[in-house]
A = this chain, B = another copy of it.
């Protein structure tokens, strides 16, 4: 828990300073549940790609506590996220990590929440799924991860990150405007579907996963699975048929050839593929060594508009739940 009145920038700096002051950091665990867990996957991707001294591990919070990694201890940083700060598994994971001596850093919107109380350092974020503010969780996680890399390893990408993040709202606005017709067509074309697959790789797999579990399964009661584009040819591609819908994200980063190969195949054998290409969305304007780390945010914001429209066409608002908020479980 940190002084609640510090501005977000000061909280972020305090978190990075704490990470810098640790004598050894061998592992960074990114721990959360559901949509917040999905936010952790791009951070793990950043660490895997960039860090020479820290090993990264993204884990569901209940899995993290049950797995109880043998390496978890004083040389670990554990970064956790929960919008409400009340997710019991995430609170338990933070408590467990702190007992083991790890540095715990949490992101939440609610000061004074159980997660806030149990953690060493908190960063409070503002949440609006349709905006890409630099004080929302996805951007803060990227800034925190690169900030730790800069502080501990002298990684120099941070300057490019901030510049890139500042350009994202404009890129999303343009993309939404350019896709207006496609969004309307998508919603009408898919309103009777009982299954919609998502597919991506690299850091964008996170967005595919988030839309599969939080939007299609949870908020639309449409069957779904996030297919990793590299795994597609080793099983899932046999489910492809002319009428099976896919949403595929195409990176401008290291995983673009993997995405390309999957897109070439899926568009040949299904007539119902929606491809969102980072290049076509204008992300090519960003520095080539930073673009893959911010793409998941843009894909997420744009897909939200697609799914808002789909929800309207289906007469099934994204806010409807049959179990969550309706009962104890």
Residues on A lying within 8 angstroms of B by beta carbon are 26-27, 33-37, 45, 48-52, 55, 57, 60-63, 66-71, 87, 89, 194-195, 201-202, 212-214, 217-219, 221-226, 228-231, 233-241, 254-255, 257-258, 265, 269, 321-324, 329
Cβ contact within 8 Å between A329 and B265: yes
How many copies the complex holds: the figure is 2
A257 closest partner in B (C-beta) = B66
Known: A49-B69, A258-B63. A33 touches B231 (CB 8 A): yes
Given contacts A70-B52, A195-B195, contact A322 B238 (CB under 8 A): yes
* Contact present for A27 and B55 (CB under 8 Å): yes
**22 A-B pairs with C-beta separation under 8 A:** A27-B55, A33-B230, A33-B233, A35-B234, A48-B57, A48-B71, A51-B71, A55-B57, A60-B231, A63-B230, A63-B255, A66-B202, A67-B202, A67-B255, A89-B230, A212-B225, A217-B239, A222-B239, A223-B223, A223-B239, A238-B321, A238-B323
- Contact check: which of B57, B202, B231, B238 meets A219 at CB < 8 Å? B238
Q: A218-B238, A323-B237 are in contact. Are A63 and B228 (CB under 8 A)?
A: yes
User: In the complex, are the beta carbons of B66 and A45 less than 8 A apart?
Assistant: no
Question: Are B195 and A213 closer than 8 Å at their CB atoms?
Answer: no
Closest 7 CB pairs of A and B: A34-B234, A225-B225, A55-B55, A62-B230, A213-B235, A60-B230, A218-B235
Q: How far is the CA of A93 from the CA of B67 in the complex (A)?
A: 28
The answer, among B35, B195, B228, B265, for a CB contact under 8 Å with A60, is: B228
Complex contact A238–B63 (CB within 8 A): no
- Between A27, A68, A239, the greatest number of chain B beta carbons within 10 A of the residue's beta carbon is seen for A239
Q: How far is the CA of A324 from the CA of B61 in the complex (A)?
A: 37
